[in-house]
Amino acid sequence: MRHIARFRSVRNDQKGIVLVVALIVLVAMTLAAVALMRSVDISTQIAGNLAYRQSGVQAADGAAEIARDWLLKQATQDITSLDANISPSYFASTGASDTFDPLTFDWTGKSKVPKNAAGNEAQYVIHRMCEAPGDPASEGTNCFTSPVVVSGDSQGIKPDIPPSTVSNNPYYRVTVRVTGLKNTVTYTQVMVY
């Protein structure tokens, strides 16, 4: 009988230790669950931000294409119309020092592209890459022009003739600003010639 009483007393002392260990394990598991939930939440926010960014880039691509089409239309109708500023979004020169900064530029009233399905609204401006307005062939405009490759003659192409780089076709810089959901803003610049 003594032996049984001693066994019961050791067993009764262990019940309290098991409760303390179980509580510590429960607290550790709760902290791990909270950390896992926060990790999943942050991952979801990152994925959402990447989706907003990608949506803004797609809207900017569309607006750049619209600006390019506008340039082609102007050049087809009357190429000399591009020698002067055209309100609201075309500038025939960048000035002697190209100080255009899309972050500080006043985008009020510039050409807008209708909102897309994602709710992004794009605006664009076009700068002709010349120091002064006027005919790109004249010396005072100092235009950054695209190269024209001419190699060969009426008898065929001769690869040993160096290409000519004389051109009156200036480069144009298209800057697009896209405003989207959750106050996202995307800027894109494209060079066209």
> What confidence tens digit (pLDDT) does each residue in 33-75 have?
998 888 888 888 888 888 888 888 999 999 999 999 999 998 8
* Pairing mode, strands 172-179 and 121-128: antiparallel
pLDDT score recorded for residue 8: 58
Tell me which residues of the chain have a pLDDT lower than 70: 1-15, 96-98, 147-167
Measured from the Cβ of residue 186, the count of other Cβ atoms closer than 10 Å reads 20
Q: What share of the chain is helix, strand, coil (3-state, %, to 5)?
A: 45, 20, 35
pLDDT score recorded for residue 26: 95
pLDDT score recorded for residue 153: 52
pLDDT score recorded for residue 6: 58
pLDDT score recorded for residue 100: 84
pLDDT score recorded for residue 30: 94
The residue written with tokens 């939930």 in the block is 37
Running DSSP on this structure, what letter comes out for residue 162? P
pLDDT score recorded for residue 148: 61
Contact 148, 166 (CB under 8 A): yes
pLDDT score recorded for residue 54: 87
pLDDT score recorded for residue 98: 64
pLDDT score recorded for residue 163: 47
- The first and second tokens of residue 3, run together, are 């032996």
Give 87's contacts (C-beta < 8 A, 6+ positions apart): none
* CA 86 and chain centroid, separation: 26
pLDDT score recorded for residue 29: 94
pLDDT score recorded for residue 161: 45
pLDDT score recorded for residue 164: 45
